[in-house]
Structure 1
Amino acid sequence: MAKNKETFARTVFIVIGLCFICSIFVSTAAVLLKPTQQENKLLDKQKYILEAANLIDSKSQVSKKEILATYEKFVEAKVINLKTGEEVAGVDGDTYDQQKVSRDPETSSKPEHDIASIKRVADNAVIYLVHDESGKLTSVILPVHGYGLWSTMYAFLAVEPDLNTVQNLVYYSQGETPGLGGEVENPKWKAKWHGKKLFDEQGNIAITVTKNPAVAETPYGVDALSGATLTSNGVQHTLTFWLGNEGFANFIKKARNGGLS
């Protein structure tokens, strides 16, 4: 009997010891790999920004070196205050973590009209200015996000310097149903956004994700995703929020009055 107790105690001791050793390995690996994970995450984001700006083709294989060189040459990340629309001096747009900041009550707020179900919005947001070889502004890229059917969907909205004509809407992170809401990443649907207008002549938000073919053919309409009404509504709500007064509206107004170059 005593021998059985001793064997059981020894087994428990060995199991606990192995668990402890494994936990040390896992923790150490997590710490050591964190810089690499963050670097890959940043690289992935830069790749999607370049795709939104038509600087790389999503179908082509592009090396890490090419992504970094192209981004550094043509893209400038700036942090702007959403209430004033003005640039925030002294903040590096490439390292500013807007999602993290939005979770801090000291640097964010709850939207009054949270149509996109984002819960909290950071006081400051990142925007990306894209220039050509001569330094001429060719694109303005606005990071946007909002809830779909199952997930918060993150995208880059690239527009012409007029801050009205859409170049691309590129979703880079979403958990919608494959073959339905997941079609936000389908190149055929993404192509429908090219050349569409965000605002009407009076400056009102006019872009509409619609099931009506007649509306979809207008400069302000885009076909809704087939069989994915709630995801399509999520795209609409995302744009309505971020183009509105609690989003980038003040920045857009200032930019149109000569605030960009």
Structure 2
Amino acid sequence: MKLSQCAWLILAIVLLSGCFSHSGSSSADLDKTIHTSLYPTGKYKIKREDPQRVLLEVAGLAEQQQTAKALIKTDLVAVVVDFKQHRLIQQPQVVARFDPSKVAYTQLDPKQNLAHLPKRPEQIRIYLKHGNRHQPAEVIVPVQGMGYFSMLYGYAAFNLHTLRLERIGFYQQAETPALGGQIMTNKKWLNQFSGKQVLNNGQPVFKVAPRHGHASIHSFDAISGATHTSKGVANLLNYWCGPAGYGPFFAKLSSQAS
């Protein structure tokens, strides 16, 4: 190889190596890196289950030998929460006409709410489950909030008399597979939420236990290797049970059930 050819080859190698060097990153690339580290979304594939099936599991109706549509119609009573007007819509005719696809949204600052939500529907459909005396015994509500890598979507059931958690389940997430992704599959971990109390004297205080096996009524054990995802679950429950979420409506429903 001629000397001039070697020189050009060396120059090409140097230039190409610079394309992969992080030392010469632009400020835009640096901003993107910082943003990704603070809000690390979209890293893993979205995992999704049938929301109706998860709703029935959380409502304690999964073992019934009927279709999901029939069970929701016969065993659950739909109610619409109107956040904008601070009221519960319970008239069957009005609720039957409710269309989630036409609901307006309120823009939120993700840094200013526990669930890190960018927006929230102004109306949400929730469900009441009757007890043995045909009185509302449980309320099943949609919940969502930021985990570690993704937005988490699910349902939570609460006892209307004590406001303790009965069951919780998730139908969509994109957390780390086999770690945070267990929020959809680890039944033992999900079962620990039964009987937990998110509120203390009306204030949301739910958290991850400081050490595994030392959970109290107001805390729970994290998924091993997925503390950030677990904290996301605590945050979203605190948000939705608090004054900006279903908290005021839980109080109304609880008084009606008494």
| Pair in the same fold by TM > 0.5 | yes
Match of 1:86 in 2: 87
**Contact 1:74/1:132 (CA < 8 Å) preserved in 2?**
no
Deviation of 1:133 after TM superposition, in Å, equals 6.2
- The Cα offsets for residues 101-138 of structure 1, whole Å up to 9 and x where unpaired, read as 3xx4xx42325832212101122222110124652323
Q: Distance in 1 between matches of 2:229 and 2:194?
A: 20
Task: Give the partner amino acid of 1:233.
Answer: K
Aligned counterparts, 1:114-129, within 5 A? 114-129=113-128
Match of 1:192 in 2: 192
Task: Give the partner amino acid of 2:240.
Answer: W
Deviation of 1:86 after TM superposition, in Å, equals 1.9
Match of 1:237 in 2: 235
Match of 1:169 in 2: 168
Match of 1:73 in 2: 74
- The Cα offsets for residues 124-180 of structure 1, whole Å up to 9 and x where unpaired, read as 222110124652323201111001112110010101122521111111111111111
Task: Give the partner amino acid of 1:135.
Answer: H
Task: Give the partner amino acid of 1:68.
Answer: K
Gaps of 5+ in 1: 1-40
Q: Distance in 1 between matches of 2:219 and 2:107?
A: 31
Q: Distance in 1 between matches of 2:86 and 2:168?
A: 22
Match of 2:61 in 1: 55
**Contact 2:137/2:257 (CA < 8 Å) preserved in 1?**
no
**Contact 2:126/2:141 (CA < 8 Å) preserved in 1?**
yes
Deviation of 1:91 after TM superposition, in Å, equals 4.1
Deviation of 1:189 after TM superposition, in Å, equals 0.5
**Contact 1:83/1:250 (CA < 8 Å) preserved in 2?**
no
TM-score with structure 2 setting the length: 0.71
Aligned counterparts, 1:1-261, within 5 A? 44-57=50-63, 65-82=66-83, 85-88=86-89, 91-92=94-95, 96-97=99-100, 101=103, 104=104, 107-110=105-108, 113-132=112-131, 134-162=133-161, 164-185=163-184, 186-200=186-200, 202-213=201-212, 215-216=214-215, 218-256=216-254, 258-260=255-257
Q: Which of the pair is proportionally richer in strand?
A: 2
SS of 1:241's partner is: helix
**Contact 2:140/2:155 (CA < 8 Å) preserved in 1?**
yes
SS of 1:189's partner is: helix
TM-score with structure 1 setting the length: 0.70
The share of aligned pairs that are identical, in percent, is 29
Q: Distance in 1 between matches of 2:142 and 2:224?
A: 25
Q: Distance in 1 between matches of 2:120 and 2:140?
A: 18
Match of 2:12 in 1: none
Task: Give the partner amino acid of 1:242.
Answer: W
Task: Give the partner amino acid of 2:148.
Answer: L
Deviation of 1:215 after TM superposition, in Å, equals 4.5
Task: Give the partner amino acid of 2:121.
Answer: A
After TM superposition, what 4+ stretches of structure 1 lie above 4 angstroms from structure 2?
Answer: none
Distance 1:223 1:94, change over 3 A: farther
Deviation of 1:212 after TM superposition, in Å, equals 2.2
Gaps of 5+ in 2: 1-47
**Contact 1:166/1:197 (CA < 8 Å) preserved in 2?**
yes
- The Cα offsets for residues 23-60 of structure 1, whole Å up to 9 and x where unpaired, read as xxxxxxxxxxxxxxxxxx9x933221111011114xxx
Q: Distance in 1 between matches of 2:183 and 2:96?
A: 26
Match of 1:19 in 2: none
- The Cα offsets for residues 167-214 of structure 1, whole Å up to 9 and x where unpaired, read as 1111111111111101112101001101111212x2221222224246
Match of 1:16 in 2: none
SS of 1:139's partner is: strand
